Amino acid sequence: MTPERKKIDDLAGQVGGYFSLPSEGSMAYTELLFDICQQFGIHYYTVTKKERYFTEEVTRVTWAKQQEEKTGIPQNIRPAFSARPAF
């Protein structure tokens, strides 16, 4: 093993492993999340817990419905806000 490779392996070990690129599905879900934020005029990183929960729930249900339409496989979609945490 080259000294440079050892250095890279040591750095990766310090932070818990190597970085891997997000999957295509993960990127599509993230894009949907930020599209929904834009639709409701929400800046995800500066919102309250309640606003964040709202956007995440809308995204979760929208994503499940899109996947159901795309694949034709029925999704077990828990109704939005059915497991709402106390704020």
Given a cut of 80, whether residue 63 has pLDDT beyond it is yes
Distance (Å, rounded) from C-alpha 13 to C-alpha 31? 30
pLDDT, averaged across the chain: 86
The total of structural domains in the chain comes to 1
Q: Does residue 18 lie within any of the structural domains? A: no
Q: Does residue 60 lie within any of the structural domains? A: yes
Mean per-residue pLDDT for 65-82?
86
- Please give the helix or strand (H or E) that residue 25 lies within, else none: helix 24-39
Take residue 55 and report the two structure tokens written for it: 């956007």
Query: Which residues, in sequence order, are CB contacts of 40 under 8 Å at separation 6+?
Result: 54, 55, 58
Q: Does residue 80 lie within any of the structural domains? A: yes
Q: Does residue 51 lie within any of the structural domains? A: yes
Q: Does residue 53 lie within any of the structural domains? A: yes
Q: Does residue 16 lie within any of the structural domains? A: no
Given a cut of 70, whether residue 83 has pLDDT beyond it is no
Per-residue pLDDT tens digits for 26-54 = 999 999 999 999 999 999 999 999 999 99
- In which domain, by residue range, is 71 found? 23-87
Q: Does residue 61 lie within any of the structural domains? A: yes
